Amino acid sequence: MSVFKAQRVLDEIRWRYYEETVMILNLMPYRASYPILKLVYSAAANATHYRDFDKTNLFITKAEVSRSTIMKKFRPRARGRSYSIKKTMCNITIVLNIVKKSK
């Protein structure tokens, strides 16, 4: 997925609690929301398994996307020519911290 498509979704989930983030990502109509939802699930599972954190207190402090490699494909065109198709990839970083909810 491109950087711009991922950035549109990450701007909505930054600085939110884990449970709220999962609800937002489930309701978003964008195609990029499902891979990011899987990434958030994985980050929360790592936090609970390796650090013994509670999922209700997890807070997304950093969600950023950076440009990665470009996959090049060629499409045949008229008169024996070819047209290059450049598909951009991205790297997504999500950092979770533990914050006590105030009620």
Name the region of 91 (left: φ>0; alpha: ψ -120 to 50; beta: rest).
beta
Which overall architecture, per CATH, does domain 3-98 show? Alpha-Beta Complex (3.90)
Mean pLDDT on 77-92: 95
The one-letter code for the residue type at 26 is N
pLDDT for 100 equals 81
Mean pLDDT for the chain?
94
Give the pLDDT band (50/70/90) at residue 33: very high
pLDDT at 103: 62
Residue ranges covered by each domain of the chain: 3-98
Kindly state the DSSP code that residue 101 receives in the 8-state scheme.
P
CA dihedral 25, 31, 37, 39 (to 10 degrees): -150
Question: What is the torsional sign of CA 7, 64, 57, 100?
Answer: negative
